[in-house]
Structure 1
C-alpha cells in the first residue's frame, strides 16, 4: 500500500540518522582504529539484520542465496562493509570530518562514470555539467579554496575519501542486477565479510576494546549507519508514490551534518568546505533534473 506521507516520514528519519554519523565517526575514531570500528559496527549490524530477517521469516533464504551465488555475495561482502568502511573511516581519521563527508557525497558522480563501461550507459550533457560542478566542489574542499596552489592539507586523506566513493559506486554497480531480498542480501554480505574483518583486525590492530565510549560509538554506527537507516530507506522508497520527493531529502543531510560536527564535535567548519559542498550538491541536483519534462511543461503553459 503506497503512502507518500509515511514515505516522507521514513525518508526524513533516515536522513536525520545519516546526518549524525559523521560526528559518530569522528568521536569513535578518538578511541579506536578504523578496522576496530568496522569489526564492532559489522557485528552490531549482523545482530540487527538477523533479528529483522527472523521477524520477516526470511532467514532460510541465506543458505539459498549463498548456494546459488557464492562468489557474488562474497564479492559484495568484501566490498561492503569490509573495504568501504575501512577506507571511509581512514579518510575520517586523516581529514576533518566535514571535509571527508563532503567529499564522500561525490559517490553519485563516480557511479555515473562507472555506469558507462560496466552498465553500457551514456553520459548525457547534464551529467558532464554535474561532473564539473561536483569535482570542482571536491577540489575546493580538498585545497581549502586554494585551487591554483593545489595545496592539499592531507593528500592521503583526500585519496582515501575519493577511493571510498569508487568502492561504494562499485558496490551498487555489482548489486544492480540483484533481485533478491535486499535485507537478506545485505546480511549475507556482512556475514561473509566477517572473517576478512577479523583477520584484518589481527594484522592491522588488535582486539583490545577497552573504551566504553568507543564501543558505544561503534555500536551506534552499526545500528544507524549500516543497519536501521538502510531498512528505513527501503521502506520509504517502497511506500513512495513520488520517489523523487523522497530522494531529494538526501540533500538536507550534509548541511545538518556540518551543524552537528560544529555543535557536538566542536570541529571548525572551513568556509571553503561549505562552498565546496554547495557546489557538489548543485551538481547532484543538476544531474537529477529532468530538463525535457521541464520544457514540455513550459510549452504546455504557453
Structure 2
C-alpha cells in the first residue's frame, strides 16, 4: 500500500466516522443531558487515546507535556472538550440534527475571521465571499428557507451552534502554539478537562445513572467523534503527499451526515437544508482557492 493510499484510507475512515456523529449526538441526548454526554464521552475518549498512545509507545509524552505546560493544557482542556462540546450538544438538544450539523460547518469561516486579530493574518477577498455565502447559508437553514419571515426553530439553538464554531476556531488558534505530538496533546487536554466536566455535571444535572443505551451512545461519541476519527485524520495528514486532496474529503461528510440523519432519526431533510449547506460548502471551497499558479506549485 502506497503512502498516498494509506492517506486516503485514513482520511476516508475519519470522514465516515464524523458523518455518523450528528445522528449519535441526537440519539444519546434522548437519555443524557448535554453535560452528562460530555462527561461520559470524554471518559471514553481518554481511555481510547491512552490505549492508542500506549500501543504507539508514546504515552510518556503525554505525562511530559502535562508537567511542562500545565497552564496551557488547562486552558485548552477548558475549551475542548469542556466548553465546545457542552455548547455544541446543547445546540443539538434544541435544534433538528440537520440544522445543528450544517451550522457547525461554518467554523472554518469563523477561523478566518479570528485569524485576523489573533494571528495577524489579512482578510482576503475569498474570505469575504466565503463569509457572505456561509452566513447566508446559515440563514437559509435556520429559517427553513423563509428569509422574509425570519422565524427560527430555536433562536438559542442557532446562537449556540454559531458560538460553538467560535470556540472551535479559538481552540485551533491556541493550538497553533503547540508543537507537540497531536494525539498526546489531545489526551493531556482531555485529562485536564475531566475534573472540570465532572464537577460541573455533579453541580448542575447530577452524575449520569447507568443506562445501557445512554452509555453506549456516549461511548460511540467518545470513541469516534473525540478519539479514533481524530487519530485517523492525523495519520491521513501524515501520509499524504498533498494536504489539499485529503482536506477536501471533509466536504463529503455533511452530505453523508444528512443521509444518516434521514434514515436513523427519521428527520425529513428540508430542501432549505440542502440549499443552505451548498452555500456554506461553496463558501468554504472559495476560501480554500489559492489560484492556479499556487495550486500547481502545491501539487
**TM range, smaller chain:** over 0.9
Q: In structure 1, what is the equivalent of residue 232 of structure 2?
A: 232
Checking the alignment, whether the CA contact within 8 Å between 1:2 and 1:241 is kept in structure 2 is no
Deviations 1:183-226 (A, max 9, x none): 11100000000111111111221223232111100000000000
5 Å-filtered alignment, 1:84-163, equals: 84-163=84-163
How far 1:153 moved relative to its partner? Answer: 1.8
Q: In structure 1, what is the equivalent of residue 12 of structure 2?
A: 12
Distance between the aligned counterparts of 1:62 and 1:161, measured in 2? 31
TM-score after normalising by structure 1: 0.95
Checking the alignment, whether the CA contact within 8 Å between 2:130 and 2:286 is kept in structure 1 is yes
Q: In structure 2, what is the equivalent of residue 192 of structure 1?
A: 192
How far 1:66 moved relative to its partner? Answer: 2.1
Give runs of ≥4 in structure 1 deviating > 6 Å. Answer: 294-297
Deviations 1:245-267 (A, max 9, x none): 11111000000100110111111
5 Å-filtered alignment, 1:203-282, equals: 203-282=203-282
TM-score after normalising by structure 2: 0.96
Distance between the aligned counterparts of 1:165 and 1:127, measured in 2? 16
Q: In structure 2, what is the equivalent of residue 300 of structure 1?
A: none
Change (3 A) 1:25 1:296: closer
Unpaired runs of at least 5, structure 2: none
Deviates most, 2-11 or 159-168? 2-11
SS state of the match for residue 238, structure 2?
Answer: helix
Q: In structure 1, what is the equivalent of residue 50 of structure 2?
A: 50
Aligned length: 297
Checking the alignment, whether the CA contact within 8 Å between 2:198 and 2:207 is kept in structure 1 is no
Distance between the aligned counterparts of 2:126 and 2:147, measured in 1? 24
How far 1:148 moved relative to its partner? Answer: 2.1
5 Å-filtered alignment, 1:16-55, equals: 16-55=16-55
Distance between the aligned counterparts of 1:178 and 1:37, measured in 2? 28
How far 1:58 moved relative to its partner? Answer: 2.0
Distance between the aligned counterparts of 1:265 and 1:224, measured in 2? 19
Q: In structure 2, what is the equivalent of residue 165 of structure 1?
A: 165
Distance between the aligned counterparts of 1:86 and 1:216, measured in 2? 19
SS state of the match for residue 59, structure 2?
Answer: coil
Distance between the aligned counterparts of 1:169 and 1:127, measured in 2? 15
Checking the alignment, whether the CA contact within 8 Å between 2:91 and 2:160 is kept in structure 1 is yes
Checking the alignment, whether the CA contact within 8 Å between 1:209 and 1:215 is kept in structure 2 is no
How far 1:64 moved relative to its partner? Answer: 2.0
How far 1:287 moved relative to its partner? Answer: 0.8
RMSD of aligned Cα (Å): 1.6
Q: In structure 1, what is the equivalent of residue 285 of structure 2?
A: 285
